[in-house]
Amino acid sequence: MTNISRADVAHLARLARLAIPEDQLDHYAEQLDVILQSVARVGEVAAADVPAMSHPVPLLNVFRDDVARPGLDREAAMAAAPAIEDDRFRVPRILDEE
């Protein structure tokens, strides 16, 4: 059984740089106590013969074969560009050069 005190909540709030009003410390202490009790109950249920897992069902990733295909040639790509300069795509400037 866990017991979180007002001092524990105040200490955790200082570590997390949270401004918790004095009148809320008891409220958060109760909530944190419930959370820690729930985690402790889960720990009691876990059996040594059950392997740890990240998902309740096995995950299977489906991959397709990586097959090289021809892409756009230079002329086709440049034909679709809104602006070209020196045989390259021209784009609007987004950074100042200082």
Question: How is residue 91 written in tokens?
Answer: 């784009």
Cut 0.75: pTM above it: no
Res. 2: pLDDT tops 70: no
pLDDT tens per residue, range 21-65: 999 999 999 999 999 999 888 877 767 777 777 888 888 888 888
List, in sequence order, every residue forming a beta bridge with 51; answer none if it has no partner: none
Q: Of 41, 42, 35, whose CA–CA distance to 8 is shortest? A: 35
